[in-house]
Structure 1
Amino acid sequence: MSEPFLIGDAMTGGYGKGPDILHECTIAVDKGQIAVIVGPNGAGKSTAMKAVFGMLNVRSGAVRLGGEDITNLSPQARVGKGMAFVPQTHNIFTGMTVEENLEMGAFLRRDDISHTMEQVYDLFPILKDKRYQMAGELSGGQRQQVAVGRALMTRPQVLMLDEPTAGVSPIVMDELFDRIIEVARTGISILMVEQNARQALEIADKGYVLVQGRNRFTDTGQVLLNDPEVRKSFLGG
């Protein structure tokens, strides 16, 4: 079996000198696939994703991208390797226009960004309509589109989303998930932490259920949705 494109392998670690939050936790995603991390509050979901992105100390285990060990790289260096991370909050520049936000996403690039900009506008047509509007004036769902669009401006190989549908309406959530599926179809790997577990698992190629920083269940999204124990404990029956 060849290794997944991105893997956080048996990660144990926490923030700074604090206690371990993750305990031999493994998260992986393949090219063009959607992997979803779900679990109860305080399960270490966002911590696991931040560990993969280099935002906390991995005391044992490793993170590998395309077979390369990147465990000791900074988050900035990981962006250079093709990883993009969209945090749950404070993920846009509210005092800039939509288009300026997207341009900020391409700050590492030295080539023509106009084609990527058009791809983002094709994916999120509302952003094209509001390109000269201040991002701080947008609705919650539109702000999330700006945040995802800005990450896509880096032309990532991996797009990491921390609670992308937090605080948005069910209609907006469905629309965001549809766009995420479209992004994955272009060959980009999606790693996502999501509170709306049932809806997220419906679009997931791979699902990880974490409990207290450990892997509790790992399988395809469909298998987890149909697992009686997962349904009873984590999906409300």
Structure 2
Amino acid sequence: MSEPFLIGEAMTGGYGAVDILHACTIAVEPGEIAVIVGPNGAGKSTAMKAVFGMLKLRGGQVRLNGEDISALTPQARVAKGMAFVPQTQNIFTSMTVEENLEMGAFLRRDDIKGTLEQVYELFPVLKTKRYQAAGELSGGQRQQVAVGRALMTQPRVLMLDEPTAGVSPIVMDELFDRIIEVARTGISILMVEQNARQALEIADKGYVLVQGANRFTDTGKALMADPEVRRSFLGG
């Protein structure tokens, strides 16, 4: 079998002397949506940070398209085609929507107009508000700015940490619809999500973490149908 496009394999590490991840493995293919779920404190966001290089691993490695990138900084991983949207403080509030999006293209030396139009097509409300300060937007619109800015790097992998945190169910559904659209263009999506049931519904692959280790790994559909997963992690 060929290797997954992006894999954090047997990742062990944490903060200081304490390991939070214990031989945790997360992988995603091109155009696939992989979702990490689990109880609070399970190490979901830590796993994401480890894949993106924000956490030094004591064991295991991260490989992108067959290349070991474990020693690379987050900035170097962006240059390799990875984009990360943190849960909070993910926009420049005093800058306009369009300035935020332009900031996402800081590594590019080519014409960004085409990508800007693609982002506006994906998130029409951002085009309407492109000259407005991003800090004046609603929570859901801010998340669209954050995702749009990440897409301006033309990533091969888009990593989202709790993209629907604090937004209404209607906005959550809309964001998930846009995430599906992004995946259909061939971009790999790796996402941590508190709304486990809704996230697994759109997931090609799901990872249930408990105490920093893999407890269940399967397709989103199979995890939704698993009685133990439903009882323990999806509220019955």
User: Which category of TM-score, normalised to the shorter sequence, fits these structures?
Assistant: over 0.9
Aligned to 1:3: 3
Structure-2 residue corresponding to 1:112? 111
Structure 2 unaligned regions, length at least 5: none
Residue 182 (structure 1) aligns with = 181
Q: CA deviation at 1:18?
A: 3.0
Q: Name 1:39's counterpart in structure 2.
A: 38
- Which residue of structure 2 lines up, in the alignment, with residue 155 of structure 1? 154
Partner of 1:233: 232
Gaps of 5+ in 1: none
Runs of 4+ aligned structure 1 residues displaced above 4 Å come to none
Equivalence for 1:146: 145
Per-residue CA deviations over 1:127-151 (Å, capped at 9, x if unaligned) read 0000000000000000000000000
**Superposition deviation, residue 153 in structure 1:** 0.1
Aligned to 1:198: 197
Q: Which residue of 1 aligns with 2:68?
A: 69
Q: Deviations over 1:178-198 (max 9, x none)?
A: 000000000000000000000
Secondary structure of 1:20's counterpart equals strand
Letter in 2 for 1:190: I
Q: Which amino acid aligns with 2:101?
A: L
Q: Deviations over 1:45-88 (max 9, x none)?
A: 00000000000111110100000000000000000000000000
Q: Which amino acid aligns with 1:213?
A: G
The size of the alignment, in residue pairs, is 236
The equivalent residue for 2:99 is 100
Q: Which residue of 1 aligns with 2:84?
A: 85
Distance in 1 (CA, whole Å) between partners of 2:206 and 2:17 is: 28
* Secondary structure in 2 matching 1:21: strand
Counterpart CA distance in 2 for 1:165 and 1:11 is 26
Identity of paired residues, percent? 86
SS of residue in 2 equivalent to 1:144: helix
The separation in 2 between residues aligned to 1:155 and 1:106, in whole angstroms, is 8
CA distance in 1, matches of 2:65, 2:86: 23
Q: Encode CA deviations 1:82-119: one digit per residue, 9 max, x unaligned.
A: 00000000000000000000000000000000000000
Deviations 1:6-45 (A, max 9, x none): 0000000012x33100000000000000000000000000
Instruction: Give the 3-state SS of the residue equivalent to 1:73 in structure 2.
Output: coil
Counterpart residue type for residue 7 of structure 1: I
Match of 2:215 in 1: 216
Q: Name the SS of the counterpart of 2:70 in structure 1.
A: coil
| In structure 1, distance between residues paired with 2:56 and 2:144 | 30
What TM-score do you get using the length of structure 1 for normalisation?
A: 0.99
Q: Which amino acid is the alignment partner of residue 132 of structure 2?
A: Q
Aligned-partner residue type, residue 2 of structure 1: S
**1:128 maps onto 2:127 in alignment:** yes
RMSD between aligned alpha carbons? 0.4
